[in-house]
Amino acid sequence: MEAQIEYSASEASKILKLEEREFLERAKSLKIPGIKSGRFKGSVLMKYFNVPEESEFDSTIIAISNQKGGEGKTTISLYLSEALALHCKVLLVDWDPQANVTQLYSKEDGPSIMDCLSYRGRKPLELSKIIKEITDTFHIVPSSLELANLTTPYERDDFELLSEALMPVRSSYEYIIIDCPPSLGLILENALIAADYVLVPIQTRAFSLQGIKDLYETISKIQKKANQRLKLLGAVLNQYESQKALAGLAEGIKKYFPVFETVIHRRESIPQAQAKMTPLAKIDQNTLKNFKELANELKEKLNVQKK
C-alpha cells in the first residue's frame, strides 16, 4: 500500500483482506476521511486499519563488486550496512560461496541463498524464511559453498535468479547490500541484474588498472543487455594510507569510475572485529565513523541520482 495513492473501496478491501461490505461498515463507524467520496488515501488506511508500515520502502539495491580478491568487498558491505542500519532498515545479502559474512554470524550450516533460487528445477524456499535478524534494523541472507554450483546458465531466467528471490522482500528494506564474490560470471551477473547501483571497492596498495577495465566492461555489458536501471555509484578507495600515493591512482581509476571522496583508511580494528565476530561499533567507534561518512556520501549520491 502506498501512502500517497488513493484507493477505491474495492481496492482497499482487497489489500486489507476484508469483504468490501465489512470494510465499508468499519470505515463508516470509524468516520475515516474518504467515506463520502469513496476514495481512501493510503496513509489514512494505514493509520485506521493498522497496516504495518514496513511493507512500503522504495528500496535501493547496491552490489558491492570487484572481481579481484581481497579488495574490501566484504569489509565495505559489512560496515557500510552497519552504518546505514543506525538509521535505516538494511538487508545484507551474502552472495559469495566463500560465505565470509555468514561465518561471522553463525557457526552451524543452515539453509542458504542457494535454497531460494529456482535453479535447475529446484523448488525454491521463500527468502524471508532464511533471513537472520541480527538487530531490528540489520538482517542478513546467509550463503554457503553450494552457491559455487551456480556456474552455467541453462535457461534465460538463470540470470535473474537473485532478482526474483529478492523481489518479495524488497519493499521491507530501505537498503539491500549485495556482497559479491571475486569473479566475473553467472554469480556476478545475477547480482548486477538484481541491483540498482554498483559500488566498487579498490585496494589502494595493490590495484590493477586492467582489473578495473575488465569490471567496467562487464558492468557496461549488463547495462546494455540486461539491466538499463543499473548505475555506477563509483569506486571507494580502501586500505588508504597516504595522500601521496592517491593522486596518480585516482586519476587512473577515474577513466572508468567516479571516485568517492570518502576513503576507507587502513585500520587494524577491521580485521580484529572480523576475527572476534563482533560489530565494529563494539571495537572501534572511530573506524565506524569512517563508514558513517561513506554512508552519508552514498545517500547524497543517491539523492542526486534519483532526481
Residues that bind Mg ion (CB under 5 A): 73-74, 100
Cβ proximity to ligand ATP, 70 vs 211, nearer residue: 70
Minimum distance between the CB of residue 226 and ligand ATP, rounded to whole angstroms? 23
Which of these ranges, 66-74, 156-164, 246-254, 294-302, lies near ligand ATP under the rule CB under 6 A? 66-74
Contact call for residue 13 and ligand ATP (CB under 6 A): no
CA angle 122, 124, 126 (to 5 degrees): 175
- In whole angstroms, give the CA distance from residue 248 to residue 260: 15
Query: Coil, strand, or helix at residue 231?
Result: strand
Contact call for residue 274 and ligand ATP (CB under 6 A): yes
- Interface mask toward ligand ATP for 101-140; x: CB under 6 A: ----------------------------------------
- Interface mask toward ligand ATP for 234-273; x: CB under 6 A: ----xx------------------------x-xx--xx--
Number of Cβ within 10 Å of residue 279's Cβ equals 17
Cβ proximity to ligand ATP, 68 vs 89, nearer residue: 68
DSSP letter (8 states) at residue 208: -
Q: Which residues pair with 133 in a beta bridge?
A: 139
- Which residues, at least 6 apart from 288, have a Cβ–Cβ distance to it below 8 Å? 79, 82, 83, 280, 281
Residue 160 C-alpha cell reads as: 535473474
Cβ proximity to ligand ATP, 23 vs 95, nearer residue: 95
Cβ proximity to ligand ATP, 208 vs 305, nearer residue: 208
Contact call for residue 69 and ligand ATP (CB under 6 A): yes
Residues 173-192 that bind ligand ATP (CB under 6 A): 182
Burial class (CB in 10 A: 0-12, 13-18, 19+), 275: exposed
Q: From the list Mg ion, ligand ATP, none, which binds 270 (C-beta under 5 to 8 Å, kind-based)?
A: ligand ATP
| Cβ density class 146-180: b for 16+ within 10 Å, e for less | ebeebeeeeeeebbbbbbbbbeebbebbbbbbbbb
Binding residue for ligand ATP, selected from 41, 73, 139, 170, defined by CB under 6 A? 73
Q: Which residues pair with 231 in a beta bridge?
A: 197
Minimum distance between the CB of residue 106 and Mg ion, rounded to whole angstroms? 17
Binding residue for ligand ATP, selected from 96, 160, 189, 196, defined by CB under 6 A? 96
Residues 209-238 that bind ligand ATP (CB under 6 A): 238
- In whole angstroms, give the CA distance from residue 279 to residue 288: 9
| Count of residues of this chain found to bind ligand ATP when the rule CB under 6 A is applied | 19
Contact call for residue 71 and ligand ATP (CB under 6 A): yes
Q: From the list ligand ATP, Mg ion, none, which binds 111 (C-beta under 5 to 8 Å, kind-based)?
A: none
Minimal CA–CA distance to 101: which of 127, 128, 131, 62? 131
Per DSSP, helices labelled H in 108-158 are none
Site residues, ligand ATP (CB under 6 A): 69-75, 96, 98, 100, 182, 238-239, 264, 266-267, 270-271, 274
